[in-house]
Amino acid sequence: MTKQTITALLVDDHALLRAGIRVLLSTTDHIELVGEASKAEQGIQLYQQLQPDIVIMDLSMPGIGGLEAIRRILLHDDQAKILVFSVHHEAVFVNRALQAGAKGYITKNSAPSLLIEAINCVVNANTYIEAGLLSHDDIGELRGDHANVINGFSPREFDVYRLLAQGLTVNAIADQLCLQQKTVSNYATQIKKKLGVQTFTELAHIASSLGLLSHSRM
């Protein structure tokens, strides 16, 4: 491994996608995939062990999820360089990832060459956002009252909100996020209060209007 080699850690729960990225990176002469994780918690541990130059991070995973993983990695190392590689193309996801501390964001339907370009850019201390993901009006602030409230959610609140909007029960969310049922219930109450709604149906309607339910299982 030469001094110029970029070391990368991949965190994504889809084995087939990890295999594809592994092959893609193996075709480069300057990027080495030094670790893979299928869960965010495992990704955090591997980051601390391997100290890679860059983390390629999915957002929607079982457990704490990508947004919280970004926050925790940066809590331990504020110089960490994280590139989000997600199926979500909506501005709210891009903004939340950047607010959590990610330095780049591209979608999974982008060309393979774009991933290489984004890795190079982020490692060289630049921010990389796939073209077309953010409009001038989106950058720095999402428009609309509900969008602004959701933009202010903590990473955990955001994860609970999306799962509630998808129709998951409190018990199912507790299992998926490894939380106590009472904790999820408290989050649900807090989320409804912040958004000024009474029912989970209203939560789902807001999420749908903002595009938060598209590709929810990816």
In a domain, 135, yes or no: no
CATH code assigned at 120: 3.40.50.2300
pLDDT at position 141 is: 47
Query: Is 70 a residue whose pLDDT tops 60?
Result: yes
Q: What are phi and psi of 178, to 5 degrees?
A: 60, 45
Q: Is residue 98 part of a domain?
A: yes
**Domain harbouring 170, CATH code:** 1.10.10.10
Q: What is the pLDDT of residue 46?
A: 97
Q: Which domain holds residue 164?
A: 145-209
Q: Evaluate whether residue 155 is within a structural domain.
A: yes
Query: How far is 10 from 85, CA to CA, in rounded Å?
Result: 10
Give pLDDT tens digits for 200-210: 888 887 887 77
Residue 97 in domain? yes
The answer to whether the pTM exceeds 0.85 is no
Q: What is the mean pLDDT of residues 122-145?
A: 69
pLDDT class of 6 with cuts at 50, 70, 90: very high
Q: Are residues 182 and 95 part of one domain?
A: no
Q: Give the model's pLDDT for residue 104.
A: 92
| Boundary (domain end) residue, out of 69, 100, 129 | 129
- Residues 25 and 88 occupy one common structural domain: yes
- Please say whether the dihedral angle defined by the alpha carbons of residues 39, 102, 93 and 184, taken in this order, is positive or negative: positive
For the chain, how many structural domains are there in total?
2
Q: Which residues contact 119 (CB under 8 A, 6 or more apart)?
A: 6, 8, 31, 54, 56, 83
pLDDT confidence bin for 135, thresholds 50/70/90: low
